[in-house]
Amino acid sequence: MKLLPGQYQLVVDGLVFEPENDIQAELVVLGQVYSLAGTDFFQRDLLVPLLWWMLFALLLGLFGALSTIIVSMVFSVIGYGLVGGWITSSSV
């Protein structure tokens, strides 16, 4: 891919909900910094923070699944005991 010399124009169409508002767009080209997940405005790699937040989301999901399992087990044991299962029959 070769960049052709000349003048380029970027046209941005937008929709605003109030008539007195306007859209102020700014194109910022910082150079040739590439990454698998992209870079932010300060040209920092976004892959490492993305991986850390994926670990946090995984731990949060595991905690949610384990707490759901524990709560459902407690409710099922209480429900089985109130209906007349092994908890009430062993006390007689």
Domain ranges (residues) in the chain: 47-90
Note the residue count of the chain. 92
Q: What is the pLDDT along the chain (92 residues), one digit of tens a residue?
A: 787 899 888 888 888 999 898 888 887 777 677 778 888 878 888 888 999 999 999 999 999 999 999 999 998 888 777 765 555 555 55
pLDDT recorded at residue 86: 58
- Residues 14, 17: Cα–Cα separation, whole Å: 10
- Residues 48, 35: Cα–Cα separation, whole Å: 11
pLDDT recorded at residue 36: 82
Query: What's the pTM value of the predicted model, to 2 decimals?
Result: 0.49
Query: Residue 1: is it exposed, middle or buried by C-beta count within 10 angstroms (0-12/13-18/19+)?
Result: exposed
